[in-house]
A and B are shown apart, each in its own frame.
Chain A
Amino acid sequence: MSYVLNTLEDQRAMLAAIGVSSIEELFSKIPPSLLLKRPLQVPPALSEIELTAQLYQLARRNRSAGEAVCFLGGGAYDHFIPAVVDAVAGRSEFYTAYTPYQAEASQGSLQAFFEFQTIICQLTGLDVANASLYEGGSAVAESVLMARSIQPKRHKVLVAASVHPEYRQTLATYTANLDLHIQTLPVPGGFLDPGELKKAIDGQTLCVLVQHPNFFGCLEEPEALANIAHQAGALFLVSFDPISLGLLKRPGQYGADIAVAEGQCLGNPMSYGGPYLGLLACRAEYVRKMPGRLVGQTVDRRGRRCWVLTLQTREQHIRREKATSNICTNQGLMALRATVFLAALGPQGLRDTADLCTRKAHYAAERLTQLPGVRLRFDRPFFKEFALHVDQAVPPLLAGLLDKGYHAGLHLGRWYPELENCFSVAVTEKRTCMEIDGLVSALASQCAGVCNGVPASQALNERVEQDIHG
């Protein structure tokens, strides 16, 4: 089965028209010594019925957010996705189209991306937004590269340790061979103390990067940090949580020069890490330094309003090694989903969502910290996620909670050795009071040392190999 329509008869007619006698002859330019002389060693073909059965069997080896209550965060969240998002994104005229280079045949996508750019400007309070990047981590890296091209004579990048560890790793990898010095600023109190920034910043600093709310869920002090950055002539870059902007001040209001985000929370399933989308917005004066595609409004020959990809002289297919970025494919379909999601919520829906997240997270924190030995790790205001400190080893605790039906949190010691006894808990608008109370009871029994045995979840591992090869 290969979705090929050519019958043997078609093939014969086509070969005759070409003037060759066999399909093999069409490959005669490949030196015979390089031809593969055996079939590929890949599993045998499956019918749709068999494929479906096998996939369902494999899916049963997973415990999704629908099967265990999800309190996991760290950049990907179990937010609700209204059905209209799937209905629109499921239109195959959108999802089977290519990048809209042929404007006359792509006005649907182009207008949707123009609306996406507008909606991200409305969300962030900044002047321009591009048509999306891959995801939150590479968006952070791209924002620093963009800052570097705005300030080519400066080489120092100051990054708060409260920025997502995987975003910081991505930044380090992207810039490994460039003339940049990345300095990580410690956050002992769970946020970047403006005093610490003041000490570290100097005339060589090209930008300051923070995440607000940060990886622990804590609020930073973005206005104070932006002021310090600007006084030193550095750009202020922020990675934000789009849902938080239902309540919190917008990056454009507190002085961000470039704002980036992970856009998964805007109507995209968690899907084990992707596809998501990166958001990038900035002040108008930096538009020609932006990475990625931009859609612009114009008119056709009869004066009708329409949209095209524009300012392409920034991009790799025109500028090659002098491009602002190497990005080509972006995350068009996810940008469409984000647009429909934000339009479905509107201002009040976004505010309600952010409000529910905050109140439920604080309710959870209040109840959980009433348990003996459980306390908040940081004494800071937080949005929808918070760090807990416990008196026992975290990995077995989380495994035990999973057995009780809860994806309870992320072990922070994995990224921060000093937080070995801590885990973060994220609470979205989907979580109910009953689910939160259930987590509290489960943690209570766990803390009482009820379950020290082998987690029953290991049963899930059995015979996966057998399933996959049928």
Chain B
Amino acid sequence: MDKNQSTELLFELSHPGRRTHHLPECDVPIDNPLPTSALADTPPPLPEVGEIDLVRHFVNLSTRNMSIDTNFYPLGSCTMKYNPKRHERLAAHPGLADLHPLQSEDSCQGMLAILWEMQNILAEIAGLDAVSLQPAAGAQGELTALLIAAAYFRDKGENRSRVLIPDSAHGTNPASAALAGFDAVSVKSNSRGLVDLDDLRTKLDERAAVFMITNPNTLGLFDDQIAIITELLHQKGALVYLDGANMNAILGITRPGDFGADMMHYNIHKTFTGPHGAGGPGAGPIAVRKQLVPFLPTPLVARSGERFFLDYDRPKSIGRVRSFFGNVGILLRGWLYIRTLGPQGLRQVSENAVLNANYLLSRLKGTYDVPHGERCMHEFVASARALKRERKISAMDIGKRLLDFGFHAPTVYFPLVVPEALMIEPTETESKETLDAFADALLRICKEDADFLHEAPHELALSRPDEVKAAKEPVLRWQADSEL
């Protein structure tokens, strides 16, 4: 990461008359016929930059990022594993990248064959009956599943208004529940960091439509009460939703459908290594149990003999949650990954993700608090609460100081149930040497001077940004001096 780049904006580089992309001469004998009343006097005031300036600008910007390809990135709940280069090359093949979403089914049988196989593979990994590849990201997968649950109960003539969500859940869970028209009801965690069964029993009645559980949960713990929980829910006629953010821990080890989940989403950009793209694109397919299949979004890929087609004839479907088929480019990368790994490779992913996380935990637990135990799945949550209490060193200070060592910070202050949380997920693609170097850095940092840590990072081009100013006096775009 470069430390000394200028922060000149694209618009400040603009120079009237410069341009990168030129169009060919018009080869049709016709003038522009649009009515002048519909036209703007001038085109939008976009920046005017030549090609080398444009390229230098963005290539220099890229050096001001940490990324998986440059740094260890142990960001909890995000599964920042290596993104294989073969996926980038193959997904860009024109025979896939240049397909129009509405071209005829007969002209994209190869693509439909891949998507059909992906549906089946994801159903198998989930232990569920059918898959929709449509949702664009995990949160949209959650929303889709909750809309399916609402349609399912409506179809059965049942009026259920509540979605129960553990307090350790991702914020998207309650936000999706509200958008799907449900009341979100929070269920407490117990002292082991798992679902508090007594609190669940208190809140569980005939109003409950869905219980949304993340398992392994956001503390990196597999909830061993899961069979009891799903049975409790099913006794009341409610559905169990699995937030699949942490599937990296259980591929081929245990299946959500087998432990009682009725629906789930995948994050292809986490578990199946779609590049995160600095915040997307993702893909959030959902898998459901048999009784929910009629309600899945349209279309699904289906097969009749040797021919694949898009099945729109699904009268109970909730409709669609986006235009076109889905984030196919990301689904394709997920498919390429699964086809590269095979069944043994998938299981090795989870075995080594869990091994790496436990190894890192064993290196840190004597020094950092790990409130929820000796063992973890693919991630764990350490706490800086003792450091905070005794030396005023916060999780934020530690995260920022790690940047100086060339490590991306862990997820901090999440989950909300752990004070001064540092959520660490190393993933399976890191070596023992990298894990040791990271552990060494963390062990050294907690001995450093508190005031020094409050000022971290020290080695980067930037010190801590003033976030309060950003929110109080929002500047959300560049403006020319003449506009201000």
Contact = CB atoms under 8 A, between A and B. Distances in A.
A277 B330 CA distance: 13
Contact of B106 (A100, A319, A461): A461
B18 A346 contact: yes
Contacts of B150: 176-177
A300 B44 contact: no
A90 interface: yes
B437 interface: no
Contact of B138 (A88, A118, A328): A328
A29 to B, nearest CB: 5
Contacts of A122: 44-46
A135 B321 CA distance: 10
Given A17-B362, A271-B96, A359-B30, A250 B44 contact: yes
Contact of A26 (B142, B254, B354): B354
A299 B329 contact: no
Interface stretch (B197-205, B335-343, B385-393): B335-343
B466 A117 contact: no
A352 to B, nearest CB: 4
Contacts of A70: 100
Among the interface residues A11, A54, A66, A169, which one has the most CB atoms of the partner chain B within 10 A?
A169
A126 to B, nearest CB: 10
A199 interface: no
Given A95-B277, A331-B280, A345-B21, A355 B136 contact: no
B70 to A, nearest CB: 6
A247 B41 CA distance: 8
A343 B46 contact: yes
B58 interface: yes
B207 interface: no
Interface stretch (B84-92, B232-240, B444-452): B84-92
A211 B252 CA distance: 47
A200 interface: no
Secondary structure at the B interface, as helix, strand, loop or mixed, is loop
A413 to B, nearest CB: 13
A363 interface: yes
A136 to B, nearest CB: 6
Interface stretch (A37-45, A230-238, A371-379, A444-452): A37-45
Nearest to A177: B181
Interface string A167-193: 101101110111000000000000000
B329 A381 contact: no
B308 interface: yes
Contacts of B111: 58, 61-62, 272
A421 interface: no
B140 interface: yes
B203 to A, nearest CB: 15
Interface stretch (A151-159, A201-209, A309-317): A309-317
A65 B100 contact: yes
A266 B234 CA distance: 48
A26 to B, nearest CB: 5
Contact of A59 (B54, B95, B151, B253): B95
Interface residues of B, number: 206
A51 B69 contact: no
B98 A270 contact: yes
B101 A352 contact: no
A283 interface: no
Nearest to B455: A301
Among the interface residues A84, A92, A272, which one has the most CB atoms of the partner chain B within 10 A?
A272
A420 interface: no
Interface string A429-444: 1001100100000000
Contact of A329 (B64, B69, B173, B282): B282
A356 interface: yes
A272 B328 contact: yes
Given A30-B253, A112-B61, A138-B322, A95 B278 contact: yes
A173 B466 contact: no
Interface in B11-38: 11, 18-24, 26-35, 38
Contact of A467 (B23, B113, B464): B113
A60 B415 CA distance: 47
Contact of B324 (A76, A346, A462, A463): A76
A312 to B, nearest CB: 8
B93 A433 contact: no
A57 B95 CA distance: 10
Contacts of A345: 19-21, 46
A348 B49 CA distance: 11
B429 interface: yes
Nearest to B342: A45
A100 B139 contact: no
A284 to B, nearest CB: 9
Contacts of A68: 107
B408 A105 contact: yes
B181 A178 contact: yes
Nearest to A341: B21
B166 interface: no
Contacts of A216: none
Contacts of B114: 58, 468
A389 interface: no
B189 interface: no
A93 B274 CA distance: 14
A299 B96 contact: no
Given A43-B117, A67-B95, A329-B139, 13 more contacts: A4-B352, A18-B361, A48-B86, A137-B323, A169-B320, A298-B475, A329-B136, A333-B278, A345-B46, A359-B28, A461-B306, A465-B306, A468-B114
26 contacts: A26-B375, A34-B227, A62-B109, A64-B97, A65-B99, A84-B21, A95-B67, A95-B275, A97-B276, A102-B408, A103-B462, A104-B400, A108-B63, A137-B322, A170-B321, A269-B92, A269-B98, A270-B97, A315-B171, A316-B172, A326-B179, A328-B172, A329-B284, A330-B280, A363-B29, A464-B113
